[in-house]
Structure 1
Amino acid sequence: MTLQPRLSAACAALRRHALVTAGLLACGLVQAAEAPQTVTGLKTPESVLVTRDGRIVVSEIAGFGQDGDGRLSLVQPDGSLKTLVDQGLNDPKGLAELNGIVYVADRDRILKVDRDGVLLTFVPADAFPSPPKFLNDLVFDAEGQLYVSDSGDLLSGGGGGAIYRVSPHGEVTLLINEAQDPAIRNPNGLLFDRGNPKQLLVLDFGTGELLRLDLSQGVKLSKLASGFGGGDGLAQDKQGLLILSDWKNGKVFKLDLKRAGAQPVVYPQAFQASADLTLSADGKTILVPDMKAGTLVFLPK
């Protein structure tokens, strides 16, 4: 038997058993016409991260506002869950990685965790210029500076959002807030544009707008698109295609910003509350935490 039939047979076996595995990713996961693969048993999953070494890390809030019940889990090769951290987390949300360390936005502080699950505080609440209300998403720039969104009074329907920059030593400065520009109402998803490393993309939960923060000369804000309901997560493939999630309406969109006049295209898959998504290492699959369903869905891009 040649190698290719063996690979095809192995992929078929994985699909038949509906396993969400590294094997599925290597096989290209599933064809577009097939149903998405799903990991179950998560407790209010908010964000998912694929690390450089291939681990799939999910942040689980469990009960909002309940201290100590949050956790980080690893999706195992057979689709089961393994706990990475189950103590010391409150409402863990956005995840980012630098040099093998995973950083976590945990309500009003930023934590970091190593491969063994050792948890440390990187930025305490009192290091922020103003008391943070709802730290949400995280992203690193090319210089190793960390950016974090504070979604403000998101839970009560108010504004008060802000975006902060954090130095490698944990020093926090305000980048922009709602008082400076009303478009920054409840900023959520953050992402640096692959083709423009000084362009920070921001998806706002309160307005459903996709914004661009030009950091090349100070901070210049502009609107790129709208209609994303409760805008949540952002991801981008190597060709520049954006993937966006709408938490309120349970939708996932794709948007080609490089094409003039392009409009968002919604995926047919419906979610209860699609949260902070990411792409698989090969860029062929969208990993979508469904917060209310307690699942992680592997959606063919």
Structure 2
Amino acid sequence: MNAARWVRERGFQNVLLEIANEYPHNGFVHQVIRDPKGQAGLIRLAKETAPGLLVSASGYGDGRIHREVAEAADFLLPHWNGTKVEHIPARIAALKPFGKPIVCNEDDKTGAEAVAALRACVDHGASYGLMLKARNQTFPFRFDGAADDPVFYAGLSGLVARPERPGAGGAVLPGRSGDAAGAKEPGRPASGSVHRKTLPVGTRPESVTKGFGGHYYVTVMGGQQPGDAVIKVIKGDQVEVFATGLDEPKGIAFVGGFLVTTDLKRVWKIDARGNKTVLADEKDFPKPISYLNDAAAAPDGQGVFVTDMGARDKIMGPDGLWPTDSPEAKAVPAIGRVYHLSLDGRVRLAVDAAPAMTCPNGVCAPAPDHLLIAEFFHGNLLQARHGSVQVLNTGFRGADGIERAKSGRIFVSSWTQGKVWRLDEQGQNPEVLIEGLQSAADFYLDEPARLLLVPDMKAGLVVWVPLE
């Protein structure tokens, strides 16, 4: 009350008063501070003492605020310190019915995780406050601006620049480009300011499909510990764990009433309750396999095509992919292949190793005996008919997902470049649809909704890209 009186008597303007920082904290001696009804009473007392002063109290790190406090406060102060990024949208949704500004003024996440939390807040109508505890709040105190957390401040810079560069998290929508690398034409304006929804889904999301109940399902690879990876389901803005106990799930497809996902040297079949069974193991493949990646439903609905990337452990140098004219690049063996798996577990070779298919990543099956393949190392876009491989285009290095629309137009993403292109029916005339992602992984083409759902693996997000 004394602080509120002091503000009133001095005539200070532009002041927000926080009664208690994390009012439920056990460090407060007086029960009236920790009790939601008591805290609400203190807020009302401050407002009565200094009419017009905006007053609130911040919640604990779980992002929750008691109803009594939320109703008494002028604005809401959740903290995200103990809140996972994927839970932030639900926490915000729980506070919106109070009809008050939602101001997160404390989160101790750093780097890419902090960027994901920032985007989750902005995309769901809340503000965000970074707390670099070790650097800014521990003696000796250091405040070096953007150098405090370069990854976060780069993400912040991209986000606040959205009026000039539309798209969540700095993703941009340039005009057409004939360059396979997708370079934006100098001075070419964006083709309209398009709002893109982003949704945090967890650590290292890789692939999306639409499955049971018309919901989207995403493979989330986790922290590279055995058994820590999951399949999650997206229901509106809610993200829930659907299946657990995987190691490194990559591609995912919905076929024959099952989700099918690759997992290193194994392929899983998952039913509507999230129960998984092994569809095929390493020993079931007719040739040695290295690293299973994408999965695509076969046109007959009776099986899937999966890619084996081959020598993926030999394609990266200290600065990323080896230059294509380097001795290291020429030494990479072309041992990648594409297989067909029936839903009863029978495996056959669909496309054998070929020089143009050094490291196959994405695959789609638009028609019987017709596959499109995104080759990762050289960036070749390939067409396979009756086992014969033809190069449609090249230069899309880091090529990841690939899909073909009913119109015949082809879509391809690049994991290393953070881009998605749209090409014509012949695989020519590439047009950049989105760029600026940290890593554009295996997307889902939802034609009825006119959307691409693109996992940004490094950012932990799925990005909704409207198709014009």
Same fold (TM over 0.5): yes
User: Distance between the aligned counterparts of 1:142 and 1:262, measured in 2?
Assistant: 24
User: Distance between the aligned counterparts of 1:74 and 1:67, measured in 2?
Assistant: 21
2:290 equivalent to 1:117: no
**Unaligned 5+ runs, structure 2:** 1-121, 125-190, 316-331
Contact 2:304 2:342 in 1 (8 A): yes
2:199 equivalent to 1:39: yes
Contact 1:60 1:73 in 2 (8 A): yes
Q: How is 1:8-23 mapped onto 2 (pairs within 5 angstroms)?
A: 18=123
- 1:222 aligned to 372, 390, 393, which one? 390
Alpha carbons of structure 1 residues 94 and 151: separation in structure 2 relative to 1, 3 Å: same
Contact 1:277 1:286 in 2 (8 A): yes
Alpha carbons of structure 1 residues 52 and 74: separation in structure 2 relative to 1, 3 Å: closer
- Determine the structure 2 residue equivalent to 1:84: 242
2:377 equivalent to 1:206: yes
Post-superposition Cα deviations, 1:126-183, rounded to whole Å, max 9, x if no partner, equal: 11123321100112323323211000121431442111122332121223333xx211
Contact 1:133 1:151 in 2 (8 A): yes
The residue type equivalent to 1:170 in the other structure is G
What is the Cα deviation at residue 90 of structure 1?
A: 0.6
- Secondary structure of the equivalent of 1:188? strand
- Determine the structure 1 residue equivalent to 2:357: 184
Alpha carbons of structure 1 residues 125 and 32: separation in structure 2 relative to 1, 3 Å: farther
Structure with the greater relative contact order (CA < 8 A, sep ≥ 6): 1 or 2? 1
- Determine the structure 2 residue equivalent to 1:22: none
User: Distance between the aligned counterparts of 2:290 and 2:443, measured in 1?
Assistant: 22
Contact 1:32 1:300 in 2 (8 A): no
- Secondary structure of the equivalent of 1:67? coil
User: Distance between the aligned counterparts of 1:161 and 1:294, measured in 2?
Assistant: 28
Alpha carbons of structure 1 residues 59 and 278: separation in structure 2 relative to 1, 3 Å: same
What is the Cα deviation at residue 269 of structure 1?
A: 3.3
- Determine the structure 2 residue equivalent to 1:5: none
Alpha carbons of structure 1 residues 262 and 174: separation in structure 2 relative to 1, 3 Å: closer
- Determine the structure 1 residue equivalent to 2:343: 168
User: Distance between the aligned counterparts of 2:350 and 2:460, measured in 1?
Assistant: 33
Residue identity over aligned pairs, in percent, reads 31
2:415 equivalent to 1:255: no
What is the Cα deviation at residue 61 of structure 1?
A: 1.1
- Determine the structure 2 residue equivalent to 1:272: 438
Q: How is 1:38-117 mapped onto 2 (pairs within 5 angstroms)?
A: 38-51=198-211, 53-64=213-224, 66-77=225-236, 79-87=237-245, 89-117=246-274
Normalised by the size of structure 2, how large is the TM-score? Answer: 0.53
What is the Cα deviation at residue 50 of structure 1?
A: 1.3
2:458 equivalent to 1:292: yes
Contact 2:248 2:263 in 1 (8 A): yes
Structure holding more helix per residue: 2
Normalised by the size of structure 1, how large is the TM-score? Answer: 0.81
The residue type equivalent to 2:379 in the other structure is G
The residue type equivalent to 1:60 in the other structure is V
User: Distance between the aligned counterparts of 1:41 and 1:172, measured in 2?
Assistant: 32
The residue type equivalent to 1:235 in the other structure is E
Alpha carbons of structure 1 residues 284 and 52: separation in structure 2 relative to 1, 3 Å: farther
What is the Cα deviation at residue 294 of structure 1?
A: 0.6
The residue type equivalent to 1:257 in the other structure is E
User: Distance between the aligned counterparts of 2:192 and 2:297, measured in 1?
Assistant: 31
Contact 1:50 1:281 in 2 (8 A): no
What is the Cα deviation at residue 52 of structure 1?
A: 6.3
The residue type equivalent to 1:239 in the other structure is S
- Determine the structure 2 residue equivalent to 1:129: 286
User: Distance between the aligned counterparts of 1:234 and 1:297, measured in 2?
Assistant: 16
What is the Cα deviation at residue 265 of structure 1?
A: 0.9
- Secondary structure of the equivalent of 2:207? strand
User: Distance between the aligned counterparts of 1:257 and 1:237, measured in 2?
Assistant: 9
- Secondary structure of the equivalent of 1:173? strand
TM superposition outliers: structure 1 runs of 4+ over 3 Å: none
Post-superposition Cα deviations, 1:236-255, rounded to whole Å, max 9, x if no partner, equal: 22222211101111110001
User: Distance between the aligned counterparts of 1:85 and 1:171, measured in 2?
Assistant: 24
User: Distance between the aligned counterparts of 1:146 and 1:290, measured in 2?
Assistant: 24
Tell me which structure has the larger Cα radius of gyration. 2
**Unaligned 5+ runs, structure 1:** 1-16, 20-30
2:372 equivalent to 1:197: no
The residue type equivalent to 1:287 in the other structure is L
User: Distance between the aligned counterparts of 1:270 and 1:234, measured in 2?
Assistant: 19
What is the Cα deviation at residue 18 of structure 1?
A: 4.2
User: Distance between the aligned counterparts of 1:123 and 1:174, measured in 2?
Assistant: 13
Post-superposition Cα deviations, 1:27-72, rounded to whole Å, max 9, x if no partner, equal: xxxx9522311001421001000126411000011134x3211100
User: Distance between the aligned counterparts of 1:129 and 1:123, measured in 2?
Assistant: 11
* Count of residue pairs brought into register by the alignment: 264
- Determine the structure 2 residue equivalent to 1:240: 408
